[in-house]
Amino acid sequence: MELILNFIENNLAMITILVLATFVGIEIIAKVPTVLHTPLMSGSNAISGVVVIGAIIMILKADDADYITLVVGSLGIALAMVNVVGGFAVTNRMLEMFKKKKK
């Protein structure tokens, strides 16, 4: 119990950010039309690729000789970049099709 209280006390700013961001996330798409469900899912999927930053940080703070971390981290970066670049590109392709309609 004390452990949990300590954790909350030490990380209050981070918890606040978490809570507020949750509300922002919900608020943003509260009234999205069905037509946009697939592109929005795809777009937010690309944003979840933000995890690539974690892999970059992991490599940057690793020991130079720690090849396991370097290799696994690089693998993580590559995979997340597929998610990021592919995700935004695919979303753009889908949305381009809606745009063509307004001649």
Partner 1 sequence: MGKEIIDFLYLISIIIFIIGMKGLSNPATARKGNLVAGAGMGLAILIALLTPMLAGTAVSMTKYVFIIIAMAIGSGVGLVASKRVAMTAMPEMVSLFNGLGGATAMLIGFIELKNYAPEGVAGKLAAVAGHADLFTGSVFSSVFALFIGAVSFSGSLIAWGKLNGSLRDNIKLPVPQIINVTTLIAVFVLSYLIMAGNEMNFTLLIVLTIVSLFYGVAFVSPIGGGDMPVVISLLNSFTGIGATVAGLIYGNNIMIVGGILVGASGILLTILMCEAMNRSLISVVIGGFGASASSASGSGREEVVKEATPSDLAIQLKYSERVVIVPGYGLAVAQAQHVCHELEQVLETEGVDVKYAIHPVAGRMPGHMNVLLAESDVDYDKLMELEPANDAFNNTDVVLVIGANDVVNPAAKSDAGSPIYGMPILDVEQAKNVVVFKRSMGTGYAGIQNPLFFGDRTKMLFGDAKKSLGKLKEELANA
99 binds partner 1 (CB under 8 A): yes
Report how far apart, in Å, the C-alpha atoms of 85 and of each of 8, 13, 49, 99 are: 36, 31, 9, 21
Kindly identify the residues of this chain, within the stretch 32-91, that bind partner 1 according to CB under 8 A. Answer: 32-60, 62, 64, 66, 68-91
Q: C-beta of 10: minimal distance to partner 1 in Å?
A: 8
Taking CB under 8 A as the criterion, the residue among 2, 7, 9, 12 binding partner 1 is 7
5 scored as a contact of partner 1 (CB under 8 A): no
Quote the DSSP letter at residue 100: T
Q: DSSP characters for 74-97?
A: HHHHHHHHIIIIIHHHHHHHHHHH
Minimum CB separation from partner 1 for residue 8, in Å? Answer: 10
Check residue 12 for interaction with partner 1 (CB under 8 A): no
